[in-house]
Each structure stands twice: as C-alpha cells, then as structure tokens.
Amino acid sequence: MNYEILAPAGNLEKLIFAFVYGADAAYLAGPKYGLRARAGNFTWEELKKAREIARELNRKIYITINIFAHNKDLKELPDYLEYLNKIKPDGVIVADPGVFRLVKRYLPEIPIHISTQANTTNIEAVKFWEELGAKRIVLARELTLEEIVEIRQNTAMELEMFVHGAMCISYSGRCLLSSYLTGRDANLGDCAQVCRWPFHLYEEKAPGQFFPIEEDERGSYIFNSYDLSLIEDLPKLVEIGINSFKIEGRMKSVHYVATTARIYKEALTLALEGKTLSPEKQNELLKISHRPYNKGFLYGKPQQGRVDEKNYTLEYEFVGIVWGFQDGLNYAEQRGKIEKGDYLEIFTPDGLTVRGIAQKLYDEEQREIPSTPHPQMRFYFAGFPPLPKYSLIRKVPRGVYDE
C-alpha cells in the first residue's frame, strides 16, 4: 500500500518548501475553482512550473477544482480543464457532480479525488463515487475511527483524511455565514472566517439557556473551533489503511507548511514501523501559529469544539529563511525583525534544530547593522555553523531562553 504526506501549497514558494521538508505531494489551486480564493494560488504558467518541480523531485501535485459551481462558473471551465490535460497533474480534487462530469470528459486519464466538501460520511457514498470512476475519497472530518475502519473494510479506493490544521464550525465546511454577513461565499472559495469574530448571543424564548456575553475581555467566540492534530494517531491510521494524510493550510505561512510537512513525514516513517513520534518532536507543532489542538471527531463527538478566544498561539516568531553560507556567514532573507543578541532557533529541512545567539548582523554589503528592520531584506548573520539552504529562523521566546 502507498502512503503519503499531503501538504498545502498556496503559492510556488510554499510548494517548494513543502517538498524540501518532506511532503510526498501537495494540493494547490489555479486562478479559479479552488476553495481558497485568497491563498495566492497559481497562474496558468505557475501551474506548469509546479508540475515541472514535482517531476524533478519525484513528487505529486493535485489541483483543487472543488467549488460548488453555478452555471456562470462552468463557462470557462472547459478551457481550464484542457490546459490541465496538457500539464498532466497527478490528480484533481472535485466536490460538485457537474464539475465531476466535465472533468471526466476533458481529463479522461487524470485521477479524480472527491473533496471533503462532498461530505462523504458513509460506505454507500463511497461506492457511489467509486462506481462513477473516482480514484480517491477525501473523507469528511466528522467521521469517527470506527466509521473510518468500516469504510476501509468495504472499499479498495484510496482514502485520504485531514490530520492537521483548522477545523470548521460548519459541517465539512459548508457554511453560509460569510456569504450572509460579508457577501464573500465560502462555497466559492472566498470565506471571510466570520466564525472567528466575537459574538454576543441572547435568546429570549429560552430562559436560562444562554452564552455569557463575554468569555474574555475581547468578546464571545461561540463558533471558534479548535485546530486538529492527529500526530499521535498516525500508527493507528496507518494500521487501518489510510493512504494519504492531509495537512490543512493553503493560506498559512511557509513556516507552517514546512514544519508540518517535516514533522508529519517523520511521524509517518515511524508509524510504518508501528512507532509513535517522540513528544519532543511533536512539540515542534506548538512552535507554529495555531489554536489549541484537539482530535476532532476521531474518537466521537469532541468534548471541546470551540475555543474561547480569537487569537492564535504564537510563541516562536518566524523571522527568516537561510539561503546559503558565504565568507563564514549565513546568508538569509528577513521575514520578521531580528536584533543583534536575539536568541534564535534554526529548523532545518532534515528536521534538526540549532540554537544560538545572533552575535552579529550584516547587510548585503557585509556592513554591520544592529537589526533587520526592512521586510524581506537580505542579510548575513554570525554565531551559527553553516546552515542548509531553506532552513527556517525562529526567534525563541524569552522564557524559553531564560531556561
């Protein structure tokens, strides 16, 4: 059986980092028809480039065409599908039956994966798509482990499931809040994440049944869901026969994509031997921007489905990318301000971490500077051994440094 870590790629840079950090495949969208309209996404030419990169690295790319299409959305879709047929992605991800029908017509040789948006929650739905010619089902997030086992026992189709990332308060992402309140349609890829807003709720016809007006000083976040993390459960999921382990986050940072790809790849390698990733390694997932984690519906209805706050946890600040080593100095690109004397942690593509102090900083002309204040400026830094290209630079929290 084949297994893969499937990473999100909101643009070309994230695609490259996903592959460099261990992802076996990436899912991405073209300029239209994907459910992350504000992820950056790929132009037609960038889709071609993405395919070339994947081939060079012996990786796979899957193109999302998973909006719920209206008639107007279908007018330009055949041209797009004909273009995809030329570049030959390894699969396309579809939710809408009408889009599925057109994909079958214009991409007869490309495997079709059924999106989680199709809400596949039972074996008969799996068999329905199987009879139509789909190759893979992306299972609904609302399934329990027992239900997944039953589906696996009754189909030979490839099964994919989300193991990490943001959860939606609505059933498999089908939500109208954004459309009603902002005019941005979540089912066409333009969700405004209204569920993360602070709400005040009063129900006059249900005396005694109410949410507090304030859960904290910022308001009441009654729809705000936890993030999913099933890193500990990979051995069990491998054992029951899940093929593809999917990470949510096409709108997340390079730091998020790279870190999750590396840690889940290491976890999968161990899971194939029946082992679990060490707690120390699992803790790398606490260093990316995240909400509190839970296990979603895997073991039944979540005991805690919502987070009583709006903000993400962000203790380690992502501040740069290493591009090389020259004249005894590491050469990097700024993604957050670094000051001389900052305590830094470097996370490398092979999963190692190196800690130290930014003893000296230099601009591109190698003139010493006190800090790196300009967005994406290139700079040199001293105090570390030669670091691999694509290494990620984090600023360590003061409390951790003091320890």
The pLDDT value given to residue 220: 45
**pLDDT value of residue 96:** 94
pLDDT (mean) for 362-373? 97
pLDDT given at position 251 = 85
pLDDT in tens, 165-204: 987 766 566 666 666 567 676 655 566 666 666 655 556 6
Among the listed residues 379, 377, 289, 382, the one whose alpha carbon sits nearest the alpha carbon of residue 342: 382
The two tokens of residue 239 are 């054992």
Q: What confidence score (pLDDT) does residue 309 get?
A: 53
Tokens of 374: 């300009």
348/384 Cα distance (integer angstroms): 13
pLDDT value at 303 more than 70:
no
CA-nearest of 72, 98, 68 to 186 is 68
* Average pLDDT estimate for 267-281: 96
H helix runs in 71-160, sequence order: 77-87, 97-106, 123-132, 145-153
- Of the two residues 294 and 399, the one the predictor is more confident about is 294
Average pLDDT for residues 15-44, to the nearest whole number?
Answer: 85
What is the per-residue pLDDT across 107-129, written as a single tens digit (0 to 9) for each? Answer: 999 999 999 989 999 999 999 99
| Spans of all domains in the chain | 4-167+225-294, 172-224, 317-402
Average pLDDT rounded to a whole number, residues 279-307: 83
pLDDT at residue number 125 = 97
Strands 227-229 vs 378-382: parallel, antiparallel or unpaired? unpaired
> What pTM does this model have?
0.86
What gap in Å lies between CA 252 and CA 164, rounded to an integer? Answer: 12
pLDDT for residue 218: 47
DSSP string, 14-82: HHHHHHHTT-SEEEEE-SSSSS-TTS----HHHHHHHHHHHHHTT-EEEEEE-S---GGGGSSHHHHHH
pLDDT at 86 over 80: yes
> Which residue matches tokens 């005040």?
200
Does domain 4-167+225-294 fall into CATH 3.20.20.70? yes
Q: How far apart are CA 226 and CA 306, in angstroms?
A: 6
Cα–Cα distance, 270 to 45 (Å, whole number): 37
Residue 161 confidence (pLDDT): 97
CATH topology of domain 317-402: Elongation Factor Tu (Ef-tu); domain 3 (2.40.30)
Closest residue by Cα to residue 268 from 225, 302, 306, 234? 234
